[in-house]
Amino acid sequence: MKRPTILVLGAGYGGLSTVVNLQKSIGTDEADIVLINKNDYHYESTWLHEAAAGTMTPEQVRYDVKDVINEGKVKFIKAEVQGIDIPGKVVTTNVGTHTYDYLVIALGFEGETFGIKGLDQYALSIANVKAARQIREHIEYQFATWSLEEEKDDSRLTIVVGGAGFTGIEFLGELGNRVPELCKEFDVPAEKVRVICVEAAPMVLPGFDPELVDYAVRQLKAKGIEFSIGTPVVEATPEGVNIKKGEDEFEFIKAGTVVWAAGVRGNRLIEETGIENMRARVKVEKDLRAPGHDDVFIVGDCALMINEETNRPYPPTAQIAMQQGDMCANNLIALIKGQPTAEFVPDLKGSIASLGDDDAIGVAFGKKLFGKKASFMKKMVDNRALFLIGGVGLTIKKGKFNVLK
Ligand code: FAD
């Protein structure tokens, strides 16, 4: 019998977890495993706020895909997926087409601008490692230009961050540490710089314990971050953002940098597959297959699963993406062996948001954590993700070991 081809799209947390688990458990005579990814590297999406603020370099947050795959078992193709033809079982990329017996879609997230005017054109987004580098360089350019120009435009030194959710708060935490360094590097007086977080909802970090939220806001304010809460961004322009402050009250914030960190959706390619989706996320079956498509698995941020306890979708996280990757590999092996698939049940261990390299808040194993303890735990979580995908070697090479800072 012909060996089935398993085609995995995306080398993020979900895709790589699928592949490294498959390569451990499957013989070359059992299946052909092909992995397609836009770049020849994986980037740690959960560290992108650090690359965007400039507290880490793009190089530090990424590693070669080939460092973690067994090339004897997995064929890696660097290519950009352009279309997924589910009935024809063909994936089109910029370097050719690929057929499959089983498909795993793990193409990750994109920024969601909710149709707000001008955001697509004028706001930057922490969407991938190249976008993070662009944010870092944009901010540095604004500081350098301010320093050089005769007639100084102080709005160059204003950074607006849209969104006080997980990503927005983590980015603000990094900026709180980075701005003093930038001031020193570019001869900018600190009092000229403004970092403003604008949030439409009436609260910061929805879903987090109020005591942790209070701590986070206090710490960020102490680093000079301003908050404008319950004030939706209604438009972005080349000069800044317009926010709604009341029934008929608006304020224009002139800003040299606007970073939109207020929402994510799945990959837009999902919307072209014909599979029913909500914002490019597919409500998958319990075994992670797309409804009505027994040969298609969807994992990570392109998959939507409802938490039956809360009746709300699980948030898109790396934690869940990796667990889904493991389960997806197990279910593929089961199918190849003619065995039944198993249900995916997330094992949520907690959630920790960093507030810079030296501070954090969160809950781990049911315990509330603040400050250095939380920051230590966050680094352990980051190192664990490296370990699960690339073992000890990758953890030593890329891990965060400045844990006592
Ligand atoms: P991704 O990790 O995004 O991987 C998708 C892969 O697909 C990428 O390699 C991409 O290059 C590739 N790809 C995309 N399009 C194409 C294409 N057309 N062709 C080929 N390849 C393509 N989660 C947590 O659990 N904890 C955290 O602390 C946390 N912090 C975060 C901080 C930030 C700043 C951000 C942005 C996210 C954070 N998240 C966190 C969420 C987490 O990063 C995502 O849930 C996770 O990355 C989803 O994994 P994934 O495998 O679905 O997608």
- Say if 356 falls within a structural domain: yes
Question: What's the pLDDT at 207?
Answer: 86
- Say if 58 falls within a structural domain: no
Indicate whether residue 328 lines ligand 1 (CB < 6 A).
Answer: no
Residue 365 sits in the same domain as residue 329? no
For 102-169, the DSSP string reads EEEE---EEE--TT-BTHHHH-EE--SHHHHHHHHHHHHHHHHHHHH-SS--GGGGEEEEE--SHHHH
- Say if 326 falls within a structural domain: yes
Residue 374 sits in the same domain as residue 356? yes
Cα 305 to ligand 1 centroid, rounded to whole Å: 17
Residue 177 sits in the same domain as residue 206? yes
DSSP letter for 351, please. E
Given a contact cutoff of 8 angstroms between Cβ atoms, the answer to whether 337 and 344 are in contact is: no
- For 358, the domain range is 113-262+350-405
Which residues touch 218 (CB under 8 Å, ≥6 apart)? Answer: none
- 100-143 per-position pLDDT tens digit: 999 999 999 999 999 999 999 999 999 999 999 999 999 999 99
- Say if 48 falls within a structural domain: no
CB neighbours of residue 64 within 10 Å: 12
Indicate whether residue 126 lines ligand 1 (CB < 6 A).
Answer: yes
Q: How far is the C-alpha of 172 from the C-alpha of 160, rounded, in Å?
A: 10
Give the position, in ligand 1's atom list, of the atom nearest the Cα of 319: 25
Residue 14, pLDDT > 90, answer yes
Last residue of a domain, one of 348, 373, 395: 348
Give the position, in ligand 1's atom list, of the atom nearest the Cα of 264: 36
Angstrom distances, CA of residue 66 to CA of 16, 110, 235, 319: 11, 25, 43, 22
The single residue of 110, 170, 174, 285 carrying the catalytic annotation is 170
- Say if 61 falls within a structural domain: no
Residue 291: which of 271, 276, 272, 269 has the closest Cα? 276
Give the position, in ligand 1's atom list, of the atom nearest the Cα of 52: 34
Indicate whether residue 163 lines ligand 1 (CB < 6 A).
Answer: no
- Say if 394 falls within a structural domain: yes
Residue nearest to atom 11 of ligand 1 (CA): 38
Last residue of a domain, one of 348, 373, 392: 348
Residue 29, pLDDT > 60, answer yes
Share of the chain above pLDDT 70, in %: 99
Residue 188 sits in the same domain as residue 238? yes
Last residue of a domain, one of 348, 370, 389: 348
| Residue 232 φ then ψ, to 5° | -65, 145
Residue 224, pLDDT > 90, answer yes
Residue 252 sits in the same domain as residue 368? yes
Residue 133 sits in the same domain as residue 226? yes
- 47-75 per-position pLDDT tens digit: 999 999 999 999 999 999 999 999 999 99
- 277-336 per-position pLDDT tens digit: 999 999 999 999 999 999 999 999 999 999 998 999 999 999 999 999 999 999 999 999
Q: In which band, very low, low, confident or very high, does the pLDDT at 2 lie, cut at 50, 70 and 90?
A: confident
Share of the chain above pLDDT 90, in %: 96
Residue 379 sits in the same domain as residue 254? yes
Which CATH number goes with the domain that contains 95? 3.50.50.100
Provide the token pair at 52. 């965007």
Count of structural domains within the chain: 2
**Helices 13-25 and 371-398, packing angle to 10 deg:** 50
- 145-176 per-position pLDDT tens digit: 999 999 999 999 999 999 999 999 999 999 99
Indicate whether residue 319 lines ligand 1 (CB < 6 A).
Answer: yes
> What is the rounded average pLDDT of the residues 84-91?
97
Provide the token pair at 255. 């800003």
- Say if 242 falls within a structural domain: yes
Angstrom distances, CA of residue 72 to CA of 23, 33, 68, 265, 394: 9, 10, 12, 35, 19
Q: In which band, very low, low, confident or very high, does the pLDDT at 402 lie, cut at 50, 70 and 90?
A: confident
Probe residue for ligand 1, chosen from 8, 16, 46 as the CB with the greatest number of ligand atoms within 8 Å? 46
Residue 92 sits in the same domain as residue 21? yes
User: Is 343 tagged catalytic?
Assistant: no
> What is the rounded average pLDDT of the residues 204-226?
96
Residue 186 sits in the same domain as residue 103? no
Question: What's the pLDDT at 67?
Answer: 96
Indicate whether residue 20 lines ligand 1 (CB < 6 A).
Answer: no
- Say if 71 falls within a structural domain: no
**Helices 13-25 and 318-336, packing angle to 10 deg:** 40
Angstrom distances, CA of residue 64 to CA of 43, 69, 76, 101: 9, 9, 11, 27
C-alpha of 232 from chain center: 23
Q: How far is the C-alpha of 347 from the C-alpha of 308, rounded, in Å?
A: 14
Question: What's the pLDDT at 182?
Answer: 98
Residue 374 sits in the same domain as residue 228? yes
Residue 404, pLDDT > 70, answer no
Residue 403, pLDDT > 90, answer no
Residue 202 sits in the same domain as residue 256? yes
Indicate whether residue 106 lines ligand 1 (CB < 6 A).
Answer: yes
Cα 15 to ligand 1 centroid, rounded to whole Å: 10
Which residues touch 379 (CB under 8 Å, ≥6 apart)? Answer: 400, 401, 402, 403
Question: What's the pLDDT at 179?
Answer: 98
Indicate whether residue 301 lines ligand 1 (CB < 6 A).
Answer: yes
Helix (H) or strand (E) holding 329: helix 318-336
Cα 77 to ligand 1 centroid, rounded to whole Å: 19
**What is the b/e burial string over 109-140, where b = at least 16 CB atoms within 10 angstroms of the residue's CB?**
bbbbbeebebbeebbbbbbbbebbbbbbebbe
- 312-325 per-position pLDDT tens digit: 999 999 999 999 99
Residue 397 sits in the same domain as residue 298? no
> What is the rounded average pLDDT of the residues 82-92?
98
Residue 232, pLDDT > 90, answer yes
